[in-house]
A and B are shown apart, each in its own frame.
Chain A
Amino acid sequence: MVQEHFAFVRSDMLPEAPPPAAETGIVKWLRENLFSSTANGILTVVSVLVVYQIVTSAAPWFFNGVWDSPSLTACREILDGKTGGCFAVLSERWNQLLFGFKYPSELYWRPGLAFVLLFIAAAPLLFGNIFPRKMLIFTGLYPFIAFWLIWGGPVSTPVFALLGVLFGAFVYTKMVKTSAGIAVVVSFVAALVFWIVSGYLSGPFANVMALEAIPSRDMGGFMINLMLGVICVSLSIPLGILLALGRQSSMPIIKWICVVFIEFIRGVPLITLLFVANVVLAYFLPPGTNFDLILRVIIMITMFSSAYIAEVIRGGLAALPRGQYEAGDSLGLDYAQSMQLIILPQALKISIPGIVNVAVGLFKDTTLVSVISMFDIVGMIRGPILSSAEWNGVYWELFGFAVVLFFITCYGISQYSQWLERQLQTEHR
């Protein structure tokens, strides 16, 4: 037989040999990711050295940190020449950093509660598919509740404000059949009339469920940054939509009003607008009117961010294929309906990353109010805390705290927007 000519025939399979040591596990990963070429090897070694330097110099500063001491000199005595951070300034002054130095400390629960409720109010907007739609009712009520909690005063103020909005909305639903544009104007006027009338009626309610009123100049710290950020972004989104639609409009006068407004606001730095709020705006108001700096700042920042949001939304509108507009027309929808039902839902979806970018940028820019001597977190650090006798010279702990607060907020928002983008990704890729 043929087989007999062979000295050896293997009848069973060899066991699998393990891959070469350099091609498995951590060694392979290191080779591919850190030492794939000479240049990469050098880069890796340099980076490791840099990281090592930073960690070894920062670690003792963190671990030797003093959390309990009345002043910087006392803290230095406790440290006794060692490297270490005086985090005592944070445990001592956290309330000033967060709420400002005048907000009464026994009332911290009010802005605190408003902050917690913010998450409940925002949840159905941010995670629409998880939370029930009924929670949107609370979202609608939230601005009035938050106003009452933070500024205090009689409960009638926010209630009448709310009733005015509801009255306006009622008028709008009655009028919208005739013409959407006219309905908007009329309902706005109706709400305005309601507010003015209710201003005269609110006298008897002045002591009903009145919280202690806090003037806005007593507010400060990170609270101001959050308030400005939330208020201005939420006000500027509807304004931005209107401006964007106006800029796309075929009516030349409306178009040019919007273009000039947007380009002017985008062309000047926010700081000049804050100067306007601080020193110039009073000249343009009827003599004798004197409203808060914070309200003037809110107006200017809202104008600022609505111009930027308008540009983002215009990008979204321009990205829609022409067929979508024509589809709306061919269904016989009027302008308001086709915008509301067809164009805006798609355009806003495309614009979400841009809007979030603007929102994050705006939130960071709220620190600029420290330049016009408002005591936001940066103003608190530079003003009352660093110039106090106890804590003169504690820079890194304070700036580090501010950096951490802003980083957590802004990074969180941008991560959310990336998540949302993936959620809204409806086309197949």
Chain B
Amino acid sequence: MTTMTDPPKASFQLSMLIYDTRYRSYTFQFIALALLIALMAFLGINLIKNLAEQGQDISYSFLGEPAGYDINQRPIEYDSQSSHMRASVVGMINTLIVAFLGCITATIFGVTAGILRLSPNWLVRKLMAIYVEAFRNVPVLIWILIIFTIMTAVLPAPNAFRGDNATSSMFLNSVAFTNRGVYIPTPIWGPGSMVVVLTFLASVFGVFYYRHYATKLLYDTGKLLPTGWPSLAILVVPTLLMFFILGRPIALDYPALKGFNFQGGLHIRGSLIALWFALAIYTGAFIAENVRAGIQAVSKGQTEAAASLGLRPKRIMNLVILPQALRVIIPPLISQYLNLTKNSSLAIAVGYMDLTGTLGGITLNQTGRAIEAILLLMLFYLTISLAISAVMNVYNNSMKLKER
């Protein structure tokens, strides 16, 4: 016969810190913490010694001093007398501009290529496979440099547009591709243009409302309203009507050759275009693979089930495949956006003045404040990444399959 007794309560001994699994984790954590503190102290003491030796200190006052350099792309007011802080803000905005443009274009390229890779057309499928493999397997820096070379060395100089027998002409008489950048028309906002813009915004809401209504009607009554043409009509007709009623308040300012260069219109620099398109095409190739994988992840039975319910191919895509595929596609898509934003720091290779070019480039070199500048630079990118991952987590939680 066995009797159960409480195990003898051993009093705590020092050896238990190594041999008893209950206490061993404390030992390890204590060692890890001690090592970490030692490492930090080592680095910190070295830093203080090195700074003292060179007569430097850690100070952010340089941000208030005049920068003294020019930035070629200024979304906000800036001149060389502005502070380093202002220069960094300009750089920050330039980073966000190229990241925003790049993400939109990359999505367009990627979704198109990803869907075409599943096309029944053999030739198109192969061409898209070549696109994806060619761009995924070559460094983005090389693509940026190649497109930059096209922008600066292949496109004609502005004086090629001059004279009666000019060797180059403007595309559609309104866009000029030159080796100094691309010039596109800009709108001139006349009196009353605000009304047109507001009308347009209202029609955008109108489209959303109409689509919402159509879906609700479909679910409630089974009645199917057309959405394609009506949406387009709601979007375009009121705006156009308003535009003509008010006597065309919005005109276009066309670029024109004056002196040695083009004047008027919007000047997009070659460096921006190189960075934008290289990032978009490169990231697009990755997005294409995500889109393809997402669509293929929806099992074939879903398509067949929808078809046996009598849905037509387009509706199968919209109502059955896409909602399920998006669940798979969107998380990697967002991390591709994140990669694109981080890769935009390669701007420094083509002289696009983003944050790496201003704060991490010229400001750093002029002031010699390497530690402070790089710390701020890292903080900026870290903030963006953490913000995007937070958004992604919220999305993932809301999209999580509600299982039993």
Contacts and interface: CB of A to CB of B under 8 A. Distances in A.
Interface in B113-127: 119-124, 127
Nearest to B383: A267
Interface residues of B, number: 54
Q: Is the interface of B mostly helix, strand, loop or mixed?
A: helix
Q: Is the interface of A mostly helix, strand, loop or mixed?
A: helix
Interface string B333-363: 0000000001101101100000010001000
Interface string A260-288: 00011011111110011001101111110
Interface string B24-44: 010011011100100000010
B123 A181 contact: no
A388 interface: no
Contact of B153 (A179, A367, A395): A395
B260 to A, nearest CB: 23
Interface string A236-270: 00000000000000111110010000011011111
Interface of B: 18-19, 25, 28-29, 31-33, 36, 43, 46-47, 49-51, 53, 119-124, 127, 133-134, 136-142, 145-146, 149, 153, 342-343, 345-346, 348-349, 356, 360, 364, 370-371, 374, 377-378, 381-382, 385-386
Given A251-B29, A253-B33, A382-B145, A285 B371 contact: no
Interface stretch (A89-97, A117-125, A291-299, A403-411): A403-411
A44 B32 CA distance: 63
Nearest to A395: B149
A394 to B, nearest CB: 11
Query: Which 4 residue pairs of A and B lie closest in terms of their CB atoms, listed nearest first?
Result: A267-B385, A33-B122, A410-B137, A364-B139
A415 B122 CA distance: 21
Q: In the complex, which range does the number of interface residues on chain A fall in?
A: 35 or more
B52 to A, nearest CB: 9
Interface string A31-52: 0111010001001100110110
A286 B146 CA distance: 42
B333 to A, nearest CB: 16
28 contacts: A34-B121, A40-B121, A43-B121, A44-B121, A44-B124, A48-B123, A179-B18, A182-B18, A252-B29, A267-B381, A268-B377, A268-B381, A271-B345, A279-B374, A280-B370, A283-B46, A287-B53, A368-B346, A378-B142, A395-B146, A399-B142, A402-B142, A403-B142, A406-B139, A406-B142, A407-B133, A410-B138, A411-B137
Contact of B145 (A44, A182, A185, A399): A399
Contacts of B346: 271, 368, 371
